[in-house]
Amino acid sequence: MEEALRVAEAVGALSGFVEAGRAFHVLKRITLEHRIQGAPGLGEAVRAVEEILLSNPLLPLEVRDHEASPSSLPRWVSRPPEWSVEGAGLEARGERLRLEGHPTLAVAHSPPGGPVEAEVVEVREWWEPSAYEAASGRIALTSGPQDVAYLLAARAGAEGLIAYNPKLSGDAVPYKGLFLPHDLLSKAGIPAVGAPSSLAAGLSGSKARLSVDSSVGGDARLPYLEALLPGRSRGPRVAVVAHICHPRPGANDNASGAAAVVEAALALAEAIDSGRLRPPGGDIVFLLVPEYTGSLAALARGLRVDYAINVDMVGVEPGGGDGPLRILPPPPPLPLEPAAALYYALKAAGGGGWELSGPSSGSDHDAFNAYGMAAAMLNQWPDTYYHSDRDDADRISPSRLRLAALAAAAAAYALASGYEAPGFREYYTRLIAIGHASRGDGEAARLAGSTLRALYGLEPLTGGAPRLSAPWEAVEPSSPIVTPGSVTVADVEAGARLRRILGSGLDGYTWYLMEPVILANQGLGAREILAVERAVHGSGVSAEKLWEALEILAGVGAVKLE
């Protein structure tokens, strides 16, 4: 197949230039910095990577760092505050945790406070404001979304908050972040820390002592790095992006993606400098950003591309609870070329431990897709120590870093050189339909064979397909992305209801509601949106909960419903 051969040629040309050891060195350097959004360590990590990229000035890379203003972001994106932390502590049930040993102990953006010593009360129904009344004068313990829990606990008169993640086993301390504006944090004013699930279990009714030594300022500046590999003509423009933020160590999430992007940039530059490859047809832009805020800031500054590849969590060998490397295509009906290029690149690279999945949200590819620029994500999932202090460099496989860097570099090069994959649409839609059928989901299989294929301009396999309006041009929507955190800032009780719906009815296919939001903003009605979502994700997508979630978003002005 010609479309596979073109990517395989890029893999062959690049394979001698992609170095596992160099990528691992970059990863370890990044993990030294405490890269919380709004914290000084994020800028330090960006500058460290900039020095690495500039270490060979003869390579054909144009490298520059940027610092964008939060005012450039869409309204419905949470803006992190300036925040730095010097210390934190938690003592309970004979255990004593300190920030020095557990970098994720302080909930990110927590105001200073303490030491607070009080009885702990677990709030299980975290979405109910009245459930926090028992925490008045006490310390609230919850596994609920930390921004909602924090605001409701403070409003009820709690002295502090302890957040935990029941999905994390053992003594791993979770990474939690508030992403609330300075005025709300100042008004709430209580300290918040994370706790391992082993300590949180049975903590309710016991006494605990907690403290946070931090400072909180206004909206954080948004540092990000851009490296340009110029094309030789007016070919397609491609972005390869990874978020570099996260607390120390944050090795797989997402020093691994950032290191893979750096290695992809260096390998491509070296292959071109050596004459092994000629320059790509169009520009390739490599971006290292704070998640969401950085990619949206770059788009606000005028970045426009035809395709994007998002590299997020790619460094852990599958097995022992850690999942395979997954290719997540753009949502329909955006072009599938980025996913196709990654798919054929991984096939050409050889080896296993990867698979083609359905689309999902929750990372920087959302920003590009929301603006009509087709973006796929390369992402390993599930991850045993996701969002915890146990996500360290010892978990990382240099060979997996190399595989991700090689696939991203080859795919980006092929896309920038005019790569097209019309046959992949047929393969992908049949794969989705067969997957539904194998799980006994006949309704979803039928929709995949009709609605999904119609969106990609293919003849339906099963019955007639509804006529769907799908403009999907590179537009400037007023609210291209909606995060639950921004809804919480606007109305904490609406945010609580939305989080509850996501957790009970929609979680598992799109946490940020990006696909329904984009489809709603493009003018599709409720029935059309439901048909598309069930075609892709299965008939288990709840019509009632999907509509309720969209109504909440419409109620606060985040989307328009036809």
Across 76-90, 229-243, 322-336, 511-525, least confident range: 511-525
3-state secondary structure of 191: coil
How many contiguous H segments (helices) and E segments (strands) does the chain have?
Answer: 19, 15
Rounded to a whole number, what is the largest CA-CA distance in the chain? Answer: 69
Q: What is the pLDDT of residue 407?
A: 98
Average pLDDT, the chain: 91
pLDDT at 544 (0 to 100): 87
- Pairwise CA distance, residues 349 & 361, whole Å: 26
Asked whether the predicted pLDDT for residue 445 surpasses 60, the reply is yes
pLDDT at position 558: 83
Rounded Cα distance between 282 and 305, Å, is 10
Give me the residue spans of the domains in the chain.
2-77+221-420, 81-216, 423-555
Nearest CA-CA partner of 540 in 514, 517, 498, 508: 508
| Residue 505 reports pLDDT greater than 70 | no
User: In the predicted model, is pLDDT for residue 504 greater than 90?
Assistant: no
Between the CA of residue 24 and those of 51, 225, 395, 513, what are the distances in Å?
16, 19, 11, 34
- Kindly state the tokens that stand for 413: 């090069």
CB burial readout 510-528, b (16+ within 10 A) else e: bbbbbbbbbbbbbebebeb
What is the pLDDT confidence band of residue 94, given thresholds at 50, 70 and 90? very high
pLDDT at 123 over 50: yes
Describe the strand order of the beta sheet including 113-122 as a list of residue ranges: 95-98, 81-92, 207-219, 113-122, 139-142, 160-163, 192-194
- What are residue 429's phi and psi, to 5 degrees? -65, -40
290 CB contacts (<8 Å, ≥6 apart)? 37, 42, 80, 222, 223, 224, 243, 244, 245
Q: Are strands 160-163 and 139-142 parallel, antiparallel or unpaired?
A: parallel
Q: What is each CA distance from 456 to 187, 385, 449, 451, 532, in whole angstroms?
A: 50, 37, 11, 9, 12
- pLDDT surpassing 70 at residue 546: yes
How confident is the model at residue 554, as a pLDDT?
87
- Would you state the structure tokens that stand for residue 562, as one six-digit string? 């036809």
pLDDT at 284 over 90: yes
pLDDT of residue 477 exceeding 80: no
Q: Model confidence over 319-328: pLDDT tens digits?
A: 999 999 999 9
Where are any strands of DSSP class E within 155-265?
160-163, 192-194, 207-219, 222-229, 238-243
* CATH of region 81-216: 3.50.30.30
- For residue 1, what pLDDT band results from cuts at 50, 70 and 90? low
Task: Convert the pLDDT of each residue in 382-402 to its tens digit.
Answer: 999 999 999 999 999 999 999
pLDDT band at 562 (very low <50, low <70, confident <90, very high): low
Do the Cβ atoms of 493 and 528 come closer than 8 Å? no
Residues in CB range of 350: below 8 A, 6 or more apart: none
**pLDDT at 514 exceeding the cut of 90:** no
Sheet with 284-289: strands ordered across:
62-68, 222-229, 284-289, 238-243, 307-311, 374-380, 325-328, 354-356
**Residue 512 above 80 pLDDT?**
no
Sign of CA dihedral 282, 283, 284, 285: negative
How far, in Å, CA of 157 to CA of 137, rounded?
6
pLDDT value at 117 more than 60: yes
CA 272, CA 266: separation in Å to the nearest integer? 10
39-74 pLDDT, tens digit per residue, is 999 999 999 999 999 999 989 999 999 998 888 888
Arithmetic mean of pLDDT, 330-354: 94
CB atoms within 10 A of CB 540: 14
CATH fold, domain 2-77+221-420, is Aminopeptidase (3.40.630)
Q: Residue 20: is its pLDDT beyond 80?
A: yes
In angstroms, the CA 455 to CA 453 distance is 5
pLDDT-based confidence at 466, cuts 50/70/90?
low
Asked if residues 257 and 204 have their Cβ atoms less than 8 Å apart, the reply is no
DSSP per residue, 518-530: HHHHTT--HHHHH
Q: Find, among 139, 144, 183, 184, the residue nearest to 162 by Cα.
A: 139
**Over residues 255-277, mean pLDDT:** 97
Rounded to whole angstroms, how far apart are CA atoms 481 and 303? 17
Between 165-169, 276-280, 491-495, the lowest mean confidence (pLDDT) is in: 165-169
Q: For residues 341-358, give the mean pLDDT.
A: 94
Q: Cα-flanking dihedrals φ and ψ of residue 103, to 5°?
A: -60, -20
pLDDT band (50, 70, 90) for residue 2: low
Judged by DSSP in three states, 175 sits in coil
Q: In the predicted model, what is the mean pLDDT of residues 269-297? A: 96
pLDDT band for 507, please (50, 70, 90 cuts). very low
Helix, strand, coil share (%) of the chain residues, nearest 5: 40, 20, 40
Does the pLDDT value for residue 471 go beyond 50? no
Matching fold, domains 2-77+221-420 and 81-216: no
